[in-house]
């Protein structure tokens, strides 16, 4: 598949996988995806598996991501993990502002903006998630919601930091529900996101930013979604827990 931007496909394992299970999964990914050059492949295990997974994928084409981080660098923040600590395990990416964290940990755009800047300061590439709920979509508010999230989470970035940020459009109603946005719905919002980035930064920056789609991506819908001009990859939850599904999503996207 000829794409303007290199595809980036990340697996968000959420709160799943023991160390042994994580290692079994990445061993298969490493074997099956060893020759894939067309896609940047990222796995985001829970913190407890980062160290072992990091050693397992060393010298491979699979990169490591975390699922969250603190906006602070160190100090009295019980239970938090700083960007510098992630870097000790060769983590290169970090998911920020996932809808589950917005919902269950009350993360605001303002907090996500601080985390995004802190990630860049530590040379971690953030994957910043945005997306509307079902009620917001049905109320015709998708663009307003997504634009507010983008402006709230990305202000203060330089153009270069913006280019190095990955965005993930994840309609909340499609996450873990089996309901995927149609490729047309995804393309419409992705094109809109690029327009907002152009107005916040400039057209050139917007052209370079990679925008993933997330929400019940599976092997059977990956090709059509990735075939959309403004869809530059996927953030995969459930289907990334199964080696065969994740491998097939990547192979079907090429
Ligand atoms: C996600 O949580 O980022 C996600 C897209 O989940 P799923 O693929 O299970 O819908």
List the chain pLDDT tens, one digit each, 254 residues: 778 999 999 999 999 999 999 999 999 999 999 889 999 999 999 999 999 999 999 999 999 999 999 999 999 999 999 999 999 999 999 999 999 999 999 999 999 999 999 999 999 999 999 999 999 999 999 999 999 999 999 999 999 999 999 999 999 999 988 888 899 999 999 999 999 999 999 999 999 999 999 999 999 999 999 999 999 999 999 999 999 999 999 999 99
Beta partners for residue 40, in sequence order: 8
- For the Cβ of 237 lying below 6 angstroms from any atom of ligand 1, the answer is yes
Q: Output the pTM of the full model.
A: 0.97
| Three-state SS at 60 | coil
Angle (CA) 188 189 190, round 5°: 95
Please report the pLDDT score of residue 209 as a whole number. 98
Max intra-chain CA distance, the chain: 48
Give the Cα separation of 39 and 8 in Å (integer): 6
Please report the pLDDT score of residue 179 as a whole number. 85
- For the Cβ of 172 lying below 6 angstroms from any atom of ligand 1, the answer is no
Please report the pLDDT score of residue 2 as a whole number. 78
The ligand 1 atom at the shortest distance from the C-alpha of residue 170 is: 5
Q: Cite the beta strand spans of the chain per DSSP E.
A: 7-12, 39-44, 62-66, 93-96, 125-130, 166-169, 210-214, 233-236
Give the Cα separation of 138 and 133 in Å (integer): 9
Between the CA of 40 and the centroid of ligand 1 the distance, in Å, is 18
Between the CA of 127 and the centroid of ligand 1 the distance, in Å, is 14
- The catalytic residue among 56, 71, 164, 170 is 170
- The catalytic residue among 71, 98, 107, 120 is 98
Q: Residue 249 corresponds to which tokens in the numbers above? A: 């999503």
Between the CA of 249 and the centroid of ligand 1 the distance, in Å, is 13
- For the Cβ of 170 lying below 6 angstroms from any atom of ligand 1, the answer is yes
Is 21 annotated in the active site?
no
Between the CA of 58 and the centroid of ligand 1 the distance, in Å, is 26
- For the Cβ of 175 lying below 6 angstroms from any atom of ligand 1, the answer is yes
Is 120 annotated in the active site?
no
Please report the pLDDT score of residue 88 as a whole number. 97
Distance of alpha carbon 254 from the chain centroid: 18
């Amino acid at each position: 598949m000829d794409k303007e931007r290199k595809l980036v496909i990340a697996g968000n394992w959420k709160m799943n996988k023991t160390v042994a299970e994580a290692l079994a999964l990445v061993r298969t990914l490493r074997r099956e995806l060893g020759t894939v050059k067309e896609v940047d492949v990222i796995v985001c295990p829970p913190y407890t598996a980062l160290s072992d997974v990091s050693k397992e994928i060393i010298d491979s084409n699979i990169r490591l991501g975390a699922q969250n981080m603190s906006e602070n660098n160190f100090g009295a923040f019980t239970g938090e993990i700083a960007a510098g600590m992630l870097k000790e395990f060769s983590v290169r990416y970090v998911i920020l502002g996932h809808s589950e964290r917005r919902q269950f940990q009350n993360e605001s755009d303002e907090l996500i903006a601080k985390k995004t800047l802190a990630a860049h300061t530590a040379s971690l590439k953030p994957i910043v998630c945005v997306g509307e709920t079902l009620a917001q979509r049905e109320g015709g508010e998708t663009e307003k919601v997504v634009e507010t999230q983008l402006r709230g989470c990305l202000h203060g970035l330089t153009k270069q930091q913006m280019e190095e940020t990955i965005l993930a459009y994840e309609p909340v109603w499609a996450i873990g529900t089996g309901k995927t946005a149609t490729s047309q719905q995804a393309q419409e919002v992705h094109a809109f996101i690029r327009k907002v980035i152009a107005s916040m930064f400039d057209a050139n920056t917007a052209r370079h930013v990679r925008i993933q789609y997330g929400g019940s991506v599976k092997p059977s819908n990956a090709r059509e979604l990735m075939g959309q001009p403004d869809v530059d990859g996927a953030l995969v939850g459930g289907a990334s827990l199964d080696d065969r599904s994740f491998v097939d999503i990547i192979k079907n996207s090429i």
